[in-house]
Structure 1
Amino acid sequence: MSTPKIREAARAIVLDEADRVLLLRYDEGDGVFWATPGGALDPGEDHQTATRRELAEELGVTDVKLGPEVATRSKEHLIYGETTRQIERYFIVRIPARHVDPARATQTDDILAWEWWTLADLRATGQVVYPVGLTELIDSFLANGAPASPFAFTG
């Protein structure tokens, strides 16, 4: 058994002025799912820089002020047919909904849809949403602020 390739990634939990979360819809080899914006770090890039770049590429937003790092996730899955362990760091980002303009996105990376979700809708959905535990993390953040150390997603 070979050791999987490591891929560092940065992701944003984007909240608007009504505390809705922005999720992106994908249809990949293992099915349709919703996920937070973000992606792999470019060579020499840190997680904060990668998060800002990904938000510009996927959402068409620039000049983003990052909030705290609130979570991490390590997950093994196929990327371009290769088993990869993706290690993600999640940052809170507050953006007014009107500033998100997918028409200005420069790299949509097979994104099928952009949608703002209320936490009630997220709790009630039967659709697949990654990372597992996102709703609970947002609930905790809104009630208590950033955790003392990043929460570790398991799914």
Structure 2
Amino acid sequence: MEDPWRPGKVAVRVVCVDGRGRILLLKWRGPAADYWEPPGGGVDPGETLEVAARREFHEETGLPGTAVVGDGVEVSRDFAWFGEPRPRVERFFLARVDTATPTAPVSLSDWEVGKYVDHLWIHPDDLGEADAHVEPPDLARVVRELQDS
């Protein structure tokens, strides 16, 4: 099975904010511990970053890709994927929904099957209270930057 985060792979993330200012995170099973991060994933050949963000957002949450707005911001990540360093720059996009609703993946890659754990709506000020590591660690700053852009 191909490693989706091989070096050089381009990826996008979507920070979805509800009407109460909470953001949506997905919990994934890691090799050493679970972690939370915004929905997202790899850009397929021929896709623009925006199209990939809309597709990944819908696939991983079941929410409409049309909720994704704006041009996004670049975020440098010193990321480790299953114990392997995978530093990279990702484009983070903003999505807006009026109400936080239960979400569930509608389509997971072979690589993701068995690794998705749960979802969480949480205020950025409360990220330190999450029951697992949050990626990227400076996500609250990224949320502010997206909302200000």
What TM-score does the superposition give when structure 1 sets the normalisation length? 0.75
- Residue 56 of structure 1 corresponds to 58
- Residue 151 of structure 1 corresponds to none
Contact 2:74 2:91 in 1 (8 A): yes
- From the superposition, tell whether residues 124 and 98 of structure 1 become closer, same or farther in structure 2 (CA, over 3 Å): closer
User: Pick from 119, 127, 142: which aligns with 1:137?
Assistant: 142
Contact 1:60 1:100 in 2 (8 A): no
Q: Is there any run of 5+ residues in structure 1 with no aligned partner, and where?
A: 147-155
Is the partner of 2:56 in helix, strand or coil? helix
Point out the structure with the larger strand share.
1
Contact 2:76 2:87 in 1 (8 A): no
- Residue 114 of structure 1 corresponds to 119
Query: How far off is 1:116 after superposition?
Result: 0.1
- Residue 27 of structure 1 corresponds to 29
Query: How far off is 1:44 after superposition?
Result: 1.1
Q: Distance in 1 between matches of 2:19 and 2:46?
A: 33
Q: Which amino acid aligns with 1:115?
A: L
Deviation track 1:80-101 (CA, whole Å, cap 9, x = no partner) reads x876444311011112335553
Contact 1:77 1:85 in 2 (8 A): yes
Structure 2 counterparts to residues 78-117 of structure 1, below 5 A: 78=81, 84-98=86-100, 101-102=103-104, 105-107=106-108, 109=112, 110-117=115-122
Q: Which amino acid aligns with 1:54?
A: E
Please identify the structure whose Cα radius of gyration is greater. Answer: 1
- From the superposition, tell whether residues 115 and 126 of structure 1 become closer, same or farther in structure 2 (CA, over 3 Å): closer
Query: How far off is 1:120 after superposition?
Result: 3.1
Q: Is there any run of 5+ residues in structure 2 with no aligned partner, and where?
A: 1-5
Query: How far off is 1:117 after superposition?
Result: 0.3
Query: How far off is 1:16 after superposition?
Result: 0.6
Q: Please, what is the CA RMSD of the aligned residues?
A: 2.6
Give the number of equivalent residue pairs: 139
- Residue 74 of structure 2 corresponds to 71
Percent identity between the two aligned chains: 25
Query: How far off is 1:130 after superposition?
Result: 0.5
What TM-score does the superposition give when structure 2 sets the normalisation length? 0.77
- Structure 2 residue 56 is the aligned partner of structure 1 residue 45: no
Contact 2:69 2:96 in 1 (8 A): yes
